[in-house]
Amino acid sequence: MSESAARHLSRMFHRISVAIAAEKDRLSDLDGAIGDADHGITMVLGFTAVNGELAKLDLDHMLPSEVFTSAATAFLNAVGASTGPLYATAFRRAAQVLNEDQHLSAADQAAIVEAMTTGIRERGKGQRGDKTMLDAWIPATEAAVTARARAAGSLEMWTSILEAAETGANSTRSMVATRGRAARLGERSLGHIDPGAASAVIILRAMKETFAVDTVKEQDR
């Protein structure tokens, strides 16, 4: 019996949580250079709460959209800082775009990335070049939309998404922050990678491993 789409998403959130926990200290160190040095801790709290909530649910009888809705509530309840509302809105937008869809096709996966970026953008009122997580999410979305337009397979699409996000995150090193706590530093924020962009790359890498790499392995069995 094939895994349900909701259970597949739960596995994705578990993978994100494990990856974020492994990078917690690095993320907090990045944040320490331009912020409050708590980004790693905050992200771990949020995704740990998501996994705790999903573990209580009957995933075999849930829609993928309901998984994202549950994740949004759990993340927001655990993280009251600015990151909480940003990712909660991202997950809610993903739920809306999936609606009653019970599939997770490559086109659906692209739509999830696009919807999450839209949610973050709407909630944070930010744009590319502000030295925030959007500097990873926006190029990731552009790659997803381009891949969807040419009907690329999941692995090809996610490879381009991750490459775009990594390039975007690295580009924040040469930016002056204009939003968030880092904006208080002005020119002193130069030379540092934005922690939110760095954690976005971790999230997208875990999504790639779940949607693309795992699928290829299953097909090879």
Give pLDDT, residue 33.
82
Asked if pLDDT for residue 57 goes beyond 60, the answer is yes
Q: What is the pLDDT of residues 107-163, one digit of tens each?
A: 999 999 999 999 999 999 989 988 999 999 999 999 999 999 999 999 999 999 999
The encoded tokens of residue 129 equal: 């070049």
CA–chain centroid gap for 150, Å, is: 23
pLDDT of residue 187: 61
Task: Judge residue 38's burial from the number of C-beta atoms within 10 Å of its C-beta, 0-12 exposed, 13-18 middle, 19 or more buried.
Answer: middle
pLDDT of residue 180: 63
Between CA 77 and CA 99 the distance in angstroms is 23
Q: What is the pLDDT of residue 1?
A: 32
Q: Which of the listed ranges 31-40, 43-52, 99-108 does the model predict with the highest average pLDDT?
A: 43-52
- Is residue 201 within 8 A of residue 165, CB to CB? The reply is yes
Least confident piece of the model among 33-37, 64-68, 161-165? 33-37
- Give the whole-angstrom CA distance, residue 2 versus residue 31: 41
Residue 179 pLDDT = 63
Q: Is the pLDDT of residue 219 over 90?
A: no
Q: What pLDDT does residue 81 have?
A: 78
pLDDT digits (tens, 9 = 90+) for 95-106: 999 987 788 999
